[in-house]
Amino acid sequence: MKKENNIFKKKDNSRFYLITFIILFVLLIVRVLFVRGDITTNAITEKIVSKKSPIEMTFSDVLRRSGEIKTMDIKKDNTATGTLKDGTQYKAVITYNPELLEKFSKNGTVVSIENEDSMLESVYRWMTIFFTGLFIFWLLRMLRGGGMGPKGGITRSLIGQNPTKITTGKTKTTFKDVAGIDAEKQELMEVVDFLKNKEKFKALGARVPRGILLSGEPGTGKTLLARAVAGEANVPFFATSGSDFSGIIVGLGVAKIKEIFELAKRNAPCILFIDEIDAIGQSRSKFSHNDNDREQTLNQLLIEMDGFANETGIIVIAATNRPDMLDSALLRPGRFDRQIHIELPNLEGRRDILNLHAKKFKIAENIDMLNVARGTTGFSGADLENLLNEAALRAVRVKHTVVEQDDLDEARDKILMGPVKNRKMRPEDIKLTAYHEAGHAFVGLHYGDIIDQIHKATIIPRGRALGMVQYLPIDDKVSMSIEEVRANLSTSLAGRASEEVFFGANKITTGAENDIEMATRLARYAITTAGLSDKIGLIAIKQADSFGQRIALQNASEKTAEMVDAEIKHWMDVAHNDAKNLIAKNKATVDKLAKALLEKETLTVEEIKEIVFGKKTTKAKVAKTVKSVKKTKKSNVRK
């Protein structure tokens, strides 16, 4: 059963010290208000004895009426109280002077001077000193122990509760609850086997990895995988975060590291999971001397991991999004022996993850999760779960009884491009957007057997986009041929080309900004990194980019940089002319697509094919058309 537990299990006296602090605070308040204030103990007594308030006298009045004063009690703060010869009580502030007192005595005034503290004030003083000393002694004892202390540590006593919260107990999560990362699960099966059957490893002298570092993009399932290892092995699972070991008190992180490893040793065999370990495990350098507390915490972590005996049964699993930031001492054998990088799920992995999460939702029976997975390239496991949740929310909003395909499509569009914008657009802008997207759709369909297939085209604004053409990959691609690169460049620039064909060069707009940016990035990658340009050759040229500022090309002379820029422009011009020629030769078809978009706002791939090939187009005719298109592609994709 999963629960929140504090790593400090020893009984402590933090409540006693808290009560001590409260008493000390109250004593100080009482001392300020009643002892040092204007209302003294004697004054309170006098008010109880006499209902008549004493008269206020200035120092001049005291000198002038010195013969009328019967008694005078002088306090340590130079206040004087007493009675006149007619019985009237008075109160005054005087200047202490022996000659003045001699004058009062000659006039028959009984003068008394307060040289010692009153009993109540003495009690206040000694109680304040006692509790202050007790509080300081407690602080020194805690700090002397490195922030720990024998009774639970300064962590709980100073902050009120220990900020290092860890999730403890047996977890019910197993490998059945993890999908899409089968290779990574296989890597961790040895750990599970060791926790279940240690003896067969000992018989061969094998040592299980002491530490396992899980790295990968956010949402890929690092924490879930660590929890599944503990659940599969049926051992306790302790989870904490790297940021929990940092604090404003020097030595606090070291104390917490000691305590959590003590807890793990008492409950071995177990899984100790540290999320976001880069918070304390950043690489040390000669410039990091100003962060000594973090370095001390890291050193303590290194010592604790290095001190494990092989038979302890403690497996430390850490997770990070930035393994490049970690100190090399953490990654050496004997600490984090095994490093597992969790990739974003592929097509089959995304389908399995969707099927796993779909059990929690009411999904329509006719939905094929493989098709949904095709449209979610680059999604992590968390993104896919969020996709289904957004679709379910949309289904509730439109009063569907189950999650349908249009709910999933809307959820995917919302995640990728943002919600629908209710923009007031001019009719000419809507028309130009329709012809822009029609150009993308036609050229994309033209190169449909080379690049990803079209899913739909729409002129409904989303986010910053006024319209879009979506593509549905058949499978995950790990590389691109030069033919694919040039086809993608032509498709990206088809929107601008369509604007020129239908409205003229003087009517083009800034709507192709994102298209040009993506095409330029792809062309630069193909030429400078992938070596696909005959003119530049097989050399790797990287362009550094620091905080959005363009820096000169690395590994290249000025002459080579100029050649790269010229080659990129040449590729872009060839792709633009290719798209422009295709649209000009099929102007009537593209015009039909644009008018259909103006009428319906969104066209599916079936509707786009119907307009391009005709309603009564048979499969044989489509195949013939595609075959004729292929003959022209080779000339279109050449330089």
In this prediction, residue 6 carries a pLDDT of: 44
Amino acid at 105: S
- Quickly name the fold that domain 427-637 has: Methane Monooxygenase Hydroxylase; Chain G, domain 1 (1.20.58)
In this prediction, residue 570 carries a pLDDT of: 95
Beta strands of 563-613 (E only): which ranges?
602-604
The token duo for 354 is 């969707």
pLDDT in tens, 520-543: 999 999 999 889 999 988 888 865
- Lowest-confidence region among 130-134, 335-339, 529-533, 561-565: 130-134
Confidence category of residue 484, pLDDT binned at 50, 70, 90 = very high
pLDDT in tens, 117-129: 556 666 666 777 7
pLDDT in tens, 191-244: 888 888 878 877 888 777 788 999 988 888 898 998 898 888 888 888 888 877
Quote the CA–CA distance of 174 and 177 in Å, as a whole number. 6
Helix axis angle for 482-492 and 513-528, nearest 10°, is 160
The token duo for 433 is 């957007």
- Lowest-confidence region among 451-455, 463-467, 553-557: 553-557
Is residue 39 predicted with pLDDT exceeding 60? no
Helix axis angle for 494-503 and 558-585, nearest 10°, is 50
Q: Is 281 helix (H, G, I), strand (E, B) or coil?
A: coil
pLDDT in tens, 49-99: 444 578 877 777 777 777 777 787 777 667 778 888 787 888 887 776 777
Amino acid at 620: A
The token duo for 234 is 């049926």
In this prediction, residue 45 carries a pLDDT of: 45
* CA angle, residues 523, 604, 618, in degrees to nearest 5: 100
Exposure on the CB side of residue 310, measured as CA atoms within 13 A: 9
In this prediction, residue 524 carries a pLDDT of: 92
Q: Is 65 helix (H, G, I), strand (E, B) or coil?
A: coil
Amino acid at 547: F
In this prediction, residue 493 carries a pLDDT of: 95
Quote the CA–CA distance of 455 and 377 in Å, as a whole number. 13
Residue (of 116, 35, 49) closest to 89 by Cα position = 49
Does the pTM surpass 0.75? The reply is no
Confidence category of residue 170, pLDDT binned at 50, 70, 90 = low
In this prediction, residue 52 carries a pLDDT of: 58
- Lowest-confidence region among 4-18, 428-442, 573-587: 4-18
CATH 3.30.70.120 given to domain 347-416: no
Cα dihedral across residues 599, 604, 609, 612: positive or negative: positive
CATH superfamily of 165-342: P-loop containing nucleotide triphosphate hydrolases (3.40.50.300)
Q: Buried b vs exposed e over 512-527: b needs ≥16 C-beta within 10 Å?
A: beebbeebbebbbebb
In this prediction, residue 311 carries a pLDDT of: 60
Cα dihedral across residues 475, 478, 482, 486: positive or negative: positive
In this prediction, residue 31 carries a pLDDT of: 58
Query: In this structure, how many other beta carbons lie within 10 angstroms of the beta carbon of residue 280?
Result: 27
| Domain map (residue ranges) of the chain | 12-158, 165-342, 347-416, 427-637
Positions annotated as catalytic residues are 437
Residue 454 burial (CB < 10 Å; 0-12/13-18/19+)?
buried
Q: Are the CB atoms for 142 and 157 separated by under 8 Å? A: yes
- Quickly name the fold that domain 12-158 has: 3.30.720
Is residue 40 predicted with pLDDT exceeding 80? no
Mean pLDDT score, 436-453:
92
Confidence category of residue 580, pLDDT binned at 50, 70, 90 = very high
Mean pLDDT score, 21-46:
55
Average pLDDT of the chain, as a whole number:
78
